[in-house]
Every structure is written in C-alpha cells, then in structure tokens.
Amino acid sequence: MELVENSPLDTGKIASLISTRDDMFLVWPIAKWPFDHRQWAEALDPGKGNVSFIIREGGKPVGHAALLNKGVPDTCMVSFLYLLPEYRSQGLGRRMVAALEDYAIHTFGAKRLRLVVRDYNSRALKCYLHCGFKETGRDGTLITMEKDLQEGIAGGQPAGAGDAL
Ligand SMILES: CC(C)(COP(=O)(O)OP(=O)(O)OC[C@H]1O[C@@H](n2cnc3c(N)ncnc32)[C@H](O)[C@@H]1OP(=O)(O)O)[C@@H](O)C(=O)NCCC(=O)NCCS
C-alpha cells in the first residue's frame, strides 16, 4: 500500500474511483452527484494546507484519502477515505490510516488526528476503533473521533518525532 500525493490536485482521479452514488454517500453524504469537480476542489484546496492522496496497491490506484487543515493547532483532519469495494475489509483501511498518521507526524508535526464518521457506517467505525481512535462527540448520526499521536507509534517512529522537523 502506497500513499501518493495527488499533486497538483486532479479531482478527475478521485472521480474515476468513486463510481456509484451509494459509495459517494458513504464518503461524503452531502457531496453532489454526479461528481462535482468544483465542490471537491474547494474541499481539498491545497492552498489551505490540505493534501489529497491516491492509494495505490500493487501499483494500481485503489482508493483515496485526505489530510485537511481545519485551523486547529497540532491537529490534522483525516477525511474522504475511500477504497474500491473489492479492496475493503482486508485490513487495507488500517494500513492506510497508519500511513496517514506517519505522514501527518513527519510532514505537519501533528500531535492529534480527528475524523468524523456516521454511526450507520459500521465498517468504517470498526476500522477507526481498531486504529486507536476514540469517540469525542456525537451529533445525531455524526460521531467525532480523535487519536492522540503522542501516545502511540506511527510508521515505526516514536510518535512526536515530527516535532523535530
Ligand atoms: C472505510 C474504509 C476506508 C475502511 O477500510 P477497510 O480496508 O474496509 O477497513 P479494515 O479492513 O481495515 O477494517 C474494517 C473492519 O470492519 C469489519 N467489517 C466489514 N464489514 C463490516 C460491516 N458491515 N459491519 C461491521 N464491521 C464490518 C471488517 O471485518 C474489519 O474488522 P476486522 O479487521 O476486525 O475483521 C473502506 O471500507 C471504505 O472505503 N468504505 C467505503 C467508503 C467509506 O465508508 N469511507 C469512510 C467514510 S467516514
């Protein structure tokens, strides 16, 4: 599994992965359908410190993920996680989150990751719990989760090593 920066941002690469309305709803419930390139370009604007990644497995693009800068000190938002259906439920999601942690620590010096997940998305919720995220808030179906990177190990490096960068 490889995280490849989608830079310069090419929303066409994301559109070619998310091919059904149901999948789009899981990734981003308020996203327009069909895929709206402007909406995605705004949400992933690299000028605001956001990074979009294409997930590759065996050299083939199989998914997407993003780290967003929401202006919260030391905190990166993990967002827009997506794997093609045939690559799900095999532990790839956990490896993808571990790679995102590693990137966030070493590139941004992040001390915390945050994400949101819907309570009906059991597979994603289970994946995030396995990765060490803990629920910090709930609003209707929306669950906010966080992981303190100082407590764990990411990418084989002591957490917090990014402080030195
Ligand atoms: C969310 C996603 C990135 C997770 O990646 P993944 O590779 O499927 O996750 P993992 O295999 O690491 O972990 C999923 C866990 O949920 C379990 N699972 C699978 N289907 C499930 C279901 N219907 N209900 C509950 N758990 C389920 C898996 O068995 C696995 O647990 P295990 O390791 O104990 O067996 C991926 O499933 C995906 O792209 N889903 C569609 C888009 C989406 O939901 N994005 C997230 C928006 S917040």
Segment 85-120, tens digit of pLDDT = 999 999 999 999 999 999 999 999 999 999 999 999
- For the chain, the domain total comes to 1
Q: Name residues contacting ligand 1 (CB within 6 A).
A: 26-27, 81-83, 88-94, 117, 121-124, 126-127, 130
Report angle CA 75, 163, 104 to the nearest 5 degrees.
40
Angle in degrees, 0-180, between the axes of helices 92-108 and 122-130, rounded to the nearest 10? 60
Q: Which domain holds residue 32?
A: 2-159
Instruction: Answer yes or no: is 164 within a domain.
Output: no
Contacts of 13 (CB under 8 A, 6+ apart): 6, 54, 61, 64
Instruction: Answer yes or no: is 80 within a domain.
Output: yes
* pLDDT computed for residue 164 by the predictor: 30
Q: Is the pLDDT reported for residue 163 higher than 80? A: no
CA 163 to ligand 1 centroid distance, Å: 31
Instruction: Answer yes or no: is 63 within a domain.
Output: yes
* pLDDT computed for residue 52 by the predictor: 98
CA 22 to ligand 1 centroid distance, Å: 15
Say which CATH number the domain at 146 has: 3.40.630.30
Instruction: Answer yes or no: is 165 within a domain.
Output: no
Q: Which H or E run contains 101?
A: helix 92-108
CA 164 to ligand 1 centroid distance, Å: 34
Counting ligand 1 atoms within 8 A of each CB, the residue from 17, 68, 84, 127 with the most, and so the one to mutate, is 127
Q: Taking Cα atoms as reference points, which of 49, 65, 67 lies closest to residue 112? A: 67
Please write the tens of the pLDDT for every residue from 37-93. 999 999 999 999 999 999 999 999 999 999 999 999 999 999 999 999 999 999 999
The model's confidence at residue 155, banded by pLDDT at 50, 70 and 90, is very low
Counting ligand 1 atoms within 8 A of each CB, the residue from 77, 86, 89 with the most, and so the one to mutate, is 89
Question: Are 160 and 105 a contacting pair, CB within 8 Å?
Answer: yes
Question: Are 107 and 155 a contacting pair, CB within 8 Å?
Answer: no
Instruction: Answer yes or no: is 101 within a domain.
Output: yes
pTM over 0.75? The answer is yes
Distances (CA, A) of 23 to 37, 121, 135: 16, 11, 24
